[in-house]
């Protein structure tokens, strides 16, 4: 029994209470051993048993005092009398019956090898789950870092700076192409303006006549009165005069009215 416990559950502690298992003193010895185990109170279970024997050899386990001692035990008792076909009274009053003491030891102790295998299997499952959780956390971390980098003000400033530099380059190129075109256009407009400019006309001996009072340009004799004050803009200055006479003479007409 002790070897079974040592193999299955080495951390378990086993204490033996030897007693005579047959003869006239056997019943009292069993009762005394049960009493001592309960008084010590350290055990979680008690195995009351012996090896196999004839029906006469097992009579001590049919004794009333033994049955009462087993039934009155505060600590759970397993009856492990070494016979499988016959029953003793101790089998019926015990908390559990086992065919042999070794079988009782197996019932009381877990299989350490099976538990190790179970723990190892659970450990592997835990490792897989933890690895999956860590991988998910790493992916979420990478996603958040990428989102942060994409939305970071420094990145936006850098991108806008690149855009600004590109626009500046385009503006410089366009400006270099546009300035000569504008200069040519300005020259054309200047020549057109000079062609229609009254200044050239004034230099050829013509004058711009205006009313002296309000500066209104006079383009017709209609409305001009005798003695009216007028001004005449020449190419190199302005003169002020008074109208002596108004006629309807046309340019190139030498007749006098």
- Give the model confidence (pLDDT) of 223-236 as tens digits: 788 888 888 878 78
Confidence of residue 85 (pLDDT cuts 50, 70, 90): low
- Would you state the CATH architecture of domain 2-110? Alpha-Beta Complex (3.90)
Q: What is the pLDDT of residue 69?
A: 95
Which of the pair, 242 or 256, is modelled with greater confidence?
A: 242
Q: What is the pLDDT of residue 160?
A: 81
pTM of the model: 0.47
| Residues 19-70 pLDDT 10s | 888 888 899 999 999 999 999 989 999 999 887 667 777 888 999 999 999 9
The full set of domain ranges for the chain reads 2-110, 114-179, 202-242
- DSSP notation for the chain: -HHHHHHH-TT----------SSTTHHHHHHHHHHHHHHH---S-EEEEE----TTTTGGGG-HHHHHHHHT-SS-EEEEES-SSS--HHHHHSSEE-SSHHHHHHHHS--HHHHHHHHHHHHHHHHHHHHHHHHHHHHHHHHHHHHHHHH-HHHHHHHHHHHHHHHHHHHHHHHHHHHHHHHHHHHHHHHHHHHH-HHHHHHTT--EEEETTT--B--SSTT--TT-EEEEE-SS-EEEEE------PPTT-----
Q: What is the pLDDT of residue 102?
A: 87
| Residues 174-216 pLDDT 10s | 877 788 888 888 888 888 877 777 777 777 777 888 888 888 8
pLDDT exceeds cutoff 50 at 257: no
């Amino acid at each position: 029994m002790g070897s079974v416990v040592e193999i299955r559950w080495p951390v378990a502690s086993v204490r033996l209470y030897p007693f005579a298992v047959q003869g006239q003193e056997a019943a009292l010895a069993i009762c005394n051993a049960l009493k001592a185990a309960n008084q010590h109170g350290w055990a979680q279970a008690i195995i009351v048993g012996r090896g196999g024997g004839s029906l006469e050899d097992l009579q001590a386990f049919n004794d009333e005092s033994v049955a009462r001692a087993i039934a009155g035990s505060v600590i759970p008792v397993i009856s492990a009398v070494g016979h499988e076909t016959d029953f003793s009274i101790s089998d019926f009053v015990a908390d559990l019956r086992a065919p042999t003491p070794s079988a009782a030891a197996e019932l009381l102790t877990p299989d350490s090898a099976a538990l190790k295998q179970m723990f190892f299997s659970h450990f592997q499952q835990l490792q897989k789950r933890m690895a999956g959780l860590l991988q998910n956390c790493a992916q979420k971390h990478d996603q958040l870092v990428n989102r942060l980098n994409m939305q970071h003000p420094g990145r936006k400033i850098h991108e806008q700076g690149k855009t600004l530099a590109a626009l500046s380059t385009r503006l410089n190129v366009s400006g270099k192409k546009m300035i000569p075109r504008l200069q040519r256009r300005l020259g054309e407009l200047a020549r057109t303006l000079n062609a229609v400019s009254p200044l050239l006309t004034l230099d050829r001996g013509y004058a711009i006549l205006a009313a002296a009072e309000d500066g209104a340009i006079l383009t017709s004799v209609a409305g001009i009165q005798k003695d009216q004050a007028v001004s005449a803009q020449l190419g190199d200055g302005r003169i002020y005069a008074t109208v002596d006479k108004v006629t309807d003479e046309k340019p190139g007409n030498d007749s006098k009215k």
